[in-house]
């Protein structure tokens, strides 16, 4: 789970001693704060799509779009949170406020209610169809006034088969055309779900970009500890992801949704406590750039600082509406937004910049766009791939059926193992003048994310039309995707901030996060295409569902690999646009984006 980290720093690095593996003590505070924040985020994320389809009984299609809208907004709102911190609040206040919102949101997810009910009507009588547990191992059951029976479906799902017809007063088989179903939801708890997701979106918006900005400000431009400091911080992200995918995944599926979400909330609470406790070591840094300005009135009793917090409430309300109505947002609208921003960036580069600056800005725009196919496929991990693992994979390991969310820990585990190898490999290749250029690395990352899905489809075909896919192919797809991630993600935002002129680094970073969000929304659209018919949150026709997954994954894989080939062919042109021979002159100028010093 290598995530974009704001690597633009300021010359006003914190004057801190060596207290954490030879690094400033504040790095330890930020390490554990971010570790617990990512623990809560990925712990909840691993359960979310299964929770939506099984507990609230949203369709696969609507669940995928809700999930895509949620993850997209998480990225987009970092633009607002980062801007408010840079201009008014300062990073300390923004991170604290974001952490509070996150605690509220994660604990809100634990309020689940009894869940939605699926009511089946047959010959005028009503029955409830539900599951006897959670996750892919749960059985579909039908409940009548007289008893309960397991149910299943024949090949093609044209008939429902009642295991114990006498217990429920039904025939052995019922044609699916002879009954109807409807979903009865609990409006209060559905709205709590929407509100909780919106709180998390706003919380991440205020926290995510700003905490990495503080990390960058721990070091001066020439501090040799800078790269290793970001590496340590980066490992905190993956440690939180690894631990939460396992612990929250097991608790949520085996023992109850509220326990998995509750543990995620406890993790975020620990992160908030660590950050508040550690503020005494910050030495006055990460404070507002102009503390007096925060006290100025905006409207009546509302001063600038309070207005910044009220913006959070606007983000919550807007996010709640968009997640709630994600299925009503036309795909063309999101696409047109991306096109409009692209045209705006091109217009700026053409009219406001000249020479090498213009050339490098076009290179930055390329990298902003080139991430889209990668993240659109990679982010299937939390949505369609999670449901596929839950429903269509033999998850047995050493005699234990492993809950599907646990497999999302594989990404972080592979990063632990292979990130140092990749770092060594790039250095070794650079010494031999054989290191691939950044555009070539991007092309390799996109190619591998497509290849991973082709490998998974091969595994599906091996197991037959309706057989469970071997769990080894889940290990394989996560490994191939992680290799692609290690080629693209660590250099992505870094390349954008290096290419963009110093005065518009903030604009370039905002564009990166915006298109990361659009990529996640596109991931939801792709996941929607894998949607299958369910009853009680489980599949009715395994063969049809498996065929749909194979078709969608094959199509997107070939598209991604085709795009990667084009990216590889144009990589010399992009490298030329980067003007690497004059980049040293650009870096010599101070970059004033990021953390404001108390003196400003």
Rounded Cα–Cα distance for residues 583 and 360 (Å): 9
Residue closest to 86 by CA, chosen among 183, 200, 178, 214 = 214
Which H or E run includes 182? strand 179-184
pLDDT confidence of 591, banded at 50, 70, 90?
very low
pLDDT at residue 13 is higher than 70: no
Predicted confidence at residue 376, as pLDDT, reads 97
CATH classification for the domain delimited by 336-587, as one of 3.40.190.10, 1.20.1250.20, 3.40.440.10, 3.30.1490.110: 1.20.1250.20
DSSP string, 307-318: HHHHHHHHHHHH
DSSP string, 41-104: HHHHHHHHHHHHHHTS---HHHHHHHHHHHHHHHHHHHHHHHHHIIIII-HHHHHHHHHHHHHH
- Show the CA angle centred on residue 374, arms to residues 583 and 467, nearest 5°: 160
pLDDT confidence of 4, banded at 50, 70, 90?
low
Give the pLDDT confidence of 61-73 residue by residue, as tens digits: 999 999 999 999 9
Q: Where are the domains of the chain?
A: 22-115+186-329, 117-184, 336-587
Least confident of 174-183, 402-411, 591-600: 591-600
The radius of gyration of the chain's CA atoms, rounded to the nearest angstrom, is: 25
Predicted confidence at residue 3, as pLDDT, reads 61
Domains 22-115+186-329 and 336-587 share a fold: yes
Residue closest to 474 by CA, chosen among 461, 489, 488, 455 = 455
Give the pLDDT confidence of 418-466 residue by residue, as tens digits: 988 988 998 899 899 998 999 999 999 999 999 999 999 999 999 999 9
Rounded Cα–Cα distance for residues 569 and 239 (Å): 37
- Higher local confidence (pLDDT), 228 or 536: 536
- Over range 484-498, report the average pLDDT: 85
Rounded Cα–Cα distance for residues 203 and 315 (Å): 10
Architecture of the domain delimited by 22-115+186-329: Up-down Bundle (1.20)
- Over range 222-250, report the average pLDDT: 85
Q: What's the chain's average pLDDT?
A: 89
């Amino acid at each position: 789970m290598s995530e974009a980290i704001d690597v633009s720093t300021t010359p006003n690095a914190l004057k801190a001693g060596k207290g954490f593996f030879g690094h400033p003590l504040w790095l330890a505070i930020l390490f554990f704060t971010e570790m617990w924040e990512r623990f809560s985020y990925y712990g909840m994320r691993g359960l979310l799509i299964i929770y939506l389809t099984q507990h609230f009984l949203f369709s696969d299609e609507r669940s995928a779009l809700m999930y895509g809208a949620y993850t997209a907004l998480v990225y987009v709102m970092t633009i607002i949170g980062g801007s408010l911190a840079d201009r008014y609040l300062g990073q300390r206040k923004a991170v604290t406020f974001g952490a509070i919102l996150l605690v509220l949101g994660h604990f809100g997810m634990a309020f689940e209610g009894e869940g939605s009910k699926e009511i089946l009507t047959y010959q005028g009588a009503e029955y409830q169809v539900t599951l006897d547990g959670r996750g892919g191992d749960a059985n579909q059951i039908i409940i009548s006034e007289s008893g309960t029976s397991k149910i299943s479906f024949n090949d093609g799902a044209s008939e429902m088969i009642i295991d114990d017809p006498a217990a429920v007063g039904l025939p052995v088989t019922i044609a699916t055309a002879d009954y109807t179903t409807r979903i009865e939801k609990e409006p209060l708890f559905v709205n709590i779900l929407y509100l909780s997701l919106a709180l998390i979106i706003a919380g991440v918006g205020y926290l995510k970009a700003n905490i990495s900005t503080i990390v960058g400000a721990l070091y001066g431009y020439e501090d040799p500890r800078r790269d290793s400091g970001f590496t340590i911080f980066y490992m905190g992200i993956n440690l939180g992801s690894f631990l939460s995918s396992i612990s929250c995944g097991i608790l949520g599926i085996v023992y109850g949704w509220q326990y998995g979400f509750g543990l995620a909330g406890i993790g975020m609470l620990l992160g908030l406590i660590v950050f508040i406790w550690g503020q005494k070591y910050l030495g006055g840094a990460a404070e507002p750039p102009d503390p007096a300005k925060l006290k100025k009135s905006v409207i009546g009793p509302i001063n600038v600082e309070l207005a910044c917090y009220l913006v959070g409430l606007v983000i919550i309300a807007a996010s709640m509406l968009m997640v709630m109505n994600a299925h009503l947002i036309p795909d063309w609208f999101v696409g047109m937004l991306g096109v409009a921003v692209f045209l705006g960036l091109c217009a700026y580069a053409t009219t406001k910049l000249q020479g090498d600056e213009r050339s490098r800005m076009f290179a930055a725009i390329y990298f902003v766009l080139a991430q889209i196919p990668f993240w659109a496929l990679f982010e299937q991990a939390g949505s369609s791939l999670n449901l596929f693992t839950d429903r269509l994979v033999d998850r047995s390991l050493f005699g234990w059926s492993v809950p599907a969310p646990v497999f999302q820990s594989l990404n972080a585990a592979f990063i632990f193992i292979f990130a140092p190898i990749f770092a060594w490999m790039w250095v070794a290749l650079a010494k031999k003048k054989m290191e691939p250029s950044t555009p070539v690395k991007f092309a390799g990352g996109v190619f591998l994310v497509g290849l991973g899905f082709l490998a998974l489809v091969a595994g599906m075909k091996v197991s037959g039309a309706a057989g469970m896919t071997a769990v080894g192919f889940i290990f394989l797809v996560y490994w191939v995707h992680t290799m692609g991630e290690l080629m693209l993600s660590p250099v992505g935002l870094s390349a954008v901030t290096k290419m963009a002129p110093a005065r518009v680094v903030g604009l370039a970073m905002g564009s990166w996060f915006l298109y990361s969000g659009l990529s996640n929304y596109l991931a939801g659209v792709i996941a929607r295409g894998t949607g299958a018919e369910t009853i009680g949150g489980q599949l009715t026709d395994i063969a049809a569902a498996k065929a749909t997954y194979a078709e969608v994954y094959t199509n997107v894989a070939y598209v991604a690999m085709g795009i990667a080939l084009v990216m590889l062919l144009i990589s010399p042109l992009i490298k030329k646009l980067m003007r690497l021979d004059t980049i040293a002159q650009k870096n010599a100028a101070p970059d004033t984006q990021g953390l404001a010093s108390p003196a400003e």
